[in-house]
Amino acid sequence: MEAQSIAPDTDANQVAEQAYALISDLYPICRSITGDGVRKTLRILRKHIPLDVREVPTGTHVFDWVIPKEWNIRDAYIKNSKGEKIVDFNESNLHVINYSAPFRGKLNLSQLKEHLFSDPGHPDWIPYRTSYYKETWGFCLPHKQLMELPDDEYEVCIDSSLAEGQLTYGEYVIRGKLADEVLISCHVCHPSLCNDNLSGIALATFLCKRLSQASPRYSYRFLFVPGAIGPITWLAKNEDGARLIKHGLVLANLGDPGNSTYKKSRQGNVIIDRAVQTVLKHSGREYEILEFSPYGYDERQYCSPAFNLPVGLLTRTPHGRFPQYHTSADNLDLVQPTYLADSFSKLSAVIDILEHNRKYLNTNPRCEPFLGKRNLYRPIGGFQDVATQQLALLWVLNLSDGEHDLLDICERSGLAFSAIWTAAQELAKTDLLVLQDA
């Protein structure tokens, strides 16, 4: 019998095409940690999954933090004295420092330059900057353009608002057979940036869609939250509920050409850490494993000491290590369906391990059982060759002693999880193996 997969590899390319189309739809929206950009994003995601949109008012205390004012922006530009727009928010929302306070005025070049930001290392790209917790305003532009600005009187307009409002996030729970949960979390606060933000959102959405049709064993909680303040808010409101999370992944940067990278949970050697490493090891491609550090994406919050949840971070190239990171070059050219497909198939393989990692008991532990009379030497689908099949059967029988689960057997044998799981399924059809855990 072929190993049943939650999301078979053959579907990954199709999912990746849909994910890329979703990324293209979400790309133009000006998101931030609060405001209509996040609402609009969640509305688009609701076309695929019926997620709940939750709102928490400005001023609410969440642990050591306070929900900030809500930010919205309608327009922004810089005009020269001829009335020509030389910087236009409508061309790229990265032009405005995210969370810029409203401003209108006329400034000379040196006054204006105090509010202009560029990246000399990449003179053609617009950098992405934020100022969430300090009320200021500013523009980002290509360094080449900044260097060429002539002395002039400039008209500046930032038609934004910072006002009492809400913090908005999306949440969806798929109820499985177990109350125990798997957490999948991604950030939704970046404007026109594809790899950092949209790749994670898109693959989480399609994983959620797939799992909701699959009646899984675990329950799955999907969070689409603004970075940092989002998970802090969720954890503050769900301090007890968080205890149900038995495995978790933060998703980001899943669409670039780099190698898959996994950053371990704070605990460092829990099932999710081992499951991801097993998948990457057997992927046939290069990969990188990073130890936990209290810097990065929202695993920082899930792995804070009071929670210490088993949550790791799955990316391709980590944040800050690709040149396009936090610039206008993190766009629809950087992210490609082929890399999204590879990330999605790895993600699906990780979910398969979580779903199928059970403990079995060998009912005939006194020497090897006689496999021939039970028709276990016939070729079984899902194996590359008969030798691997034989070995997988022997490993499952030998280590199913009440102490080891299938992931233990997979690691000790060096065989792929799918081979071990298929062998266990075959043996469980005979009188030799019974499921031990509930």
Binding site residues, Zn ion, CB under 5 A: 196
Nearer to Zn ion, 36 or 196 (CB): 196
Query: C-beta of 15: minimal distance to Zn ion in Å?
Result: 24
Integer Cα distance of 72 and 87 in angstroms: 19
Query: C-beta of 413: minimal distance to Zn ion in Å?
Result: 39
Nearer to Zn ion, 119 or 405 (CB): 119
Task: Supply angle C-alpha 60, 32, 201, rounded to 5.
Answer: 105
Query: C-beta of 196: minimal distance to Zn ion in Å?
Result: 4
Query: C-beta of 324: minimal distance to Zn ion in Å?
Result: 12
Residue whose CB is nearest to Zn ion in the complex, by number: 196
**Alpha-carbon distances, residue 212 vs 115, 234, 340 (angstroms):** 47, 22, 20
Nearer to Zn ion, 190 or 266 (CB): 190
Sheet holding 153-163, edge to edge: 85-88, 70-79, 153-163, 103-108
Nearer to Zn ion, 33 or 416 (CB): 33
Query: C-beta of 123: minimal distance to Zn ion in Å?
Result: 21
Nearer to Zn ion, 41 or 348 (CB): 41
Name the phi and psi angles at 101, rounded to 5: -70, 155
In the DSSP assignment, the letter for residue 125 is S
Query: C-beta of 31: minimal distance to Zn ion in Å?
Result: 11
Nearer to Zn ion, 204 or 399 (CB): 204
Query: C-beta of 35: minimal distance to Zn ion in Å?
Result: 17
User: Following DSSP, what letter does each residue of 348-366 receive, concatenated?
Assistant: HHHHHHHHH--EEEES--S
Integer Cα distance of 257 and 286 in angstroms: 12
Nearer to Zn ion, 31 or 69 (CB): 31
Integer Cα distance of 245 and 436 in angstroms: 23
Query: C-beta of 7: minimal distance to Zn ion in Å?
Result: 27
**Alpha-carbon distances, residue 140 vs 9, 125, 185, 330, 364 (angstroms):** 41, 9, 29, 15, 70
**Alpha-carbon distances, residue 234 vs 219, 231, 237, 305 (angstroms):** 17, 5, 5, 16
Name the phi and psi angles at 70, rounded to 5: -80, 135
Contacts of 262 (CB under 8 A, 6+ apart): 273, 276, 277, 280, 287, 288, 289, 290, 312, 313, 314, 315
Q: Which two tokens stand for residue 48?
A: 């695929």
Nearer to Zn ion, 70 or 196 (CB): 196
